[in-house]
């Protein structure tokens, strides 16, 4: 009975693991595929200013340095967003590898639980029937 419960738990975890991997993969591929649509958003980075309530607390030199730093990163971010759809194929491979490793770990968990149950049954005497010679005596 305990063997059945342990493997039922492992198969339930396997189903949950598979559904989670599928959902994360679908979301990641959707995000990467639609990243190129955001390329025009990065060009408006120079229009970002500090909120009025925060401006008195931040020295103007730091605010200017942060603005110039962000505007320097804008071309890099834009080129990454343009090349992101090409990463979708590699993302699929990474998802399969991670799913496979997790699945192997779940099977090892099931085997370990199976072994643990067997060891506990041996130590406690188990529920196996006694030989006929000992029962009659």
Whether 92 contacts 25, CB under 8 Å: yes
pLDDT of residue 84: 74
Average the pLDDT over 55-69 and give the result: 84
Structural domain boundaries of the chain?
2-136
Going 102 to 106 to 107 to 111, the CA torsion angle's sign is positive
Average the pLDDT over 28-35 and give the result: 81
Mean pLDDT of the chain: 82
- Among residues 77, 71, 23, 69, the alpha carbon closest in space to that of 46 is found at 71
Angle between helix 88-123 and helix 2-33 axes, rounded to 10 deg: 170
pLDDT above 70 (res 106): yes
Q: Which parts of the chain are beta strand (E)?
A: none
The C-alpha atoms of residue 68 and residue 81 are separated, in whole angstroms, by 20
- Among residues 124, 121, 106, 118, the alpha carbon closest in space to that of 7 is found at 106
pLDDT of residue 126: 58
pTM: 0.60
Share of the chain above pLDDT 90, in %: 38
More confident residue, 32 or 117: 117
The C-alpha atoms of residue 108 and residue 125 are separated, in whole angstroms, by 26
Share of the chain above pLDDT 70, in %: 82
Name, in order, each residue with C-beta under 8 angstroms of 84's C-beta and a sequence gap of 6 or more: 32, 35, 36
Average the pLDDT over 81-110 and give the result: 88
pLDDT of residue 39: 62
């Amino acid at each position: 009975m305990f063997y059945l419960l342990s493997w039922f738990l492992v198969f339930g975890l396997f189903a949950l693991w598979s559904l989670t991997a599928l959902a994360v993969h679908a979301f990641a591929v959707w995000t990467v595929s639609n990243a190129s649509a955001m390329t025009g958003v990065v060009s408006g980075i120079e229009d970002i200013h500090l909120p009025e309530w925060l401006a008195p607390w931040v020295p103007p030199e730091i605010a200017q340095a942060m603005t110039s730093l962000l505007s320097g990163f804008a071309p890099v971010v834009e080129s990454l967003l343009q090349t992101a759809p090409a990463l979708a194929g590699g993302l699929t491979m990474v998802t399969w590898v991670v799913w496979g490793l997790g699945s192997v770990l779940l099977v090892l968990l099931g085997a370990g639980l199976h072994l643990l149950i067997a060891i506990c049954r041996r130590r406690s005497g188990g529920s196996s029937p006694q030989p006929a010679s000992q029962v009659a005596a």
